[in-house]
Amino acid sequence: MSDVAQSEFNIRKYIREDLFPHFMCPGCGHGIALRALLNAVHNLGIDKNRLAIVSGIGCSGRVGAYIDANTFHTTHGRPLAFATGLKLARPDLEVIVITGDGDCLAIGGNHLIHACRRNLNITCLMLNNEVYGMTGGQVSPTTSTDRFTTTTQSGNYEPVFDACKLAEGAGAAFVGREMTLQTPALRDLIMEAIAHEGFSFVEVLSDCTEVFGRKNDMGDSMEMVLAQKSGFRSNSYGTAVDEPFKPRGMKTGVLHRSERLEYAAAYQQHHAEKSST
């Protein structure tokens, strides 16, 4: 993917300025992810009139509203279901889903695996901050072992999901992971994900500084962002059941890419064949 943009990226062209400052907490990684996404949209030359952002509920769900596009803030866990209908109805739209770890993996887990299986041309960004931030900091399916949340007051004892392995296993055509610390790499990954034909899943390692970081003494915003690199999430990603993650074992970048037939194309092809026979 080329790094050279047609024109200099001016973020103000892609946001709803009158809604700023945004509602996110100081240091929230979701803002960094938002920039990376908008930069990717710019570099790909996507017309914002043709851009549809679909989000669910939670801190991640509120991010979409700041984008100057056709934005849909739907119900908890269902943005992928909603996006499926939208994309099927309007293949001309570039549909991007912004969801969170709770929204996507817990209440919306069923929709994720089937969206991956179906392989409709949608890009799904899962902003993973390991916690339910909006509701005050409850444990999520990606909260690391031993982390404190308001519903794991003595530390988390549940195993975690590796969302990327899940997506790959379920059939997503493109799977990638990047941290907000590596914003340019994150932008490039999102560009690849959008450009890839079929269902693309991108896990963004984001930070909840105010709710999760404070509760776990993870330092200030800067320290949390830096820690993404040092592997403090080492227990979070890997084979959740048998092998705890090794420090620095967390893989980022493009994790899986395949040229499976995209759903809408498959649908067209199938019915064209059936009607001609």
* Angle, alpha carbons 235-239-240 (nearest 5°): 60
User: Which of the ranges 77-85, 188-196, 232-240, 243-251 carries the binding residues for other proteins, by CB under 8 A?
Assistant: 77-85
Beta bridge partners of residue 265, listed in sequence order? none
11 belongs to the binding site for other proteins (CB under 8 A): yes
- In the complex, least distance from residue 82 CB atom to other proteins, rounded to whole angstroms: 4
As a whole number of angstroms, the distance between CA 195 and CA 43 comes to 11
DSSP β-bridge partners for residue 97? 54, 124
Task: Please answer whether residues 100 and 128 qualify as being in contact, where contact means their C-beta atoms are separated by less than 8 angstroms.
Answer: yes
Among residues 44, 46, 75, 159, which is the contact residue for other proteins, using CB under 8 A?
75
Looking at 93, 218, 254, 266, which residue binds other proteins (CB under 8 A)? 93
Please give the Cα distance from 211 to 232 (Å, whole number).
17
83 belongs to the binding site for other proteins (CB under 8 A): yes
- Whole-number Å distance between alpha carbons of 41 and 64: 13
Nearer to other proteins, 34 or 255 (CB): 34
What is the nearest approach in angstroms of other proteins to the Cβ of residue 150? 10
The DSSP bridge pattern shows strands 131-132 and 51-55 to be unpaired
The residue from 1, 13, 85, 258 that contacts other proteins (CB under 8 A) is: 85
Letters for 188-227 (x = contact with other proteins by CB under 8 A, - = none) are ---------------------xxx--x-----xxx--x--
Residue 48 as a binder of other proteins (CB under 8 A): the answer is yes
Please report, as residue ranges, which positions from 226 to 265 form the binding site for other proteins (by CB under 8 A): none
Of residues 89, 88, 96, the one with CA closest to residue 70: 96
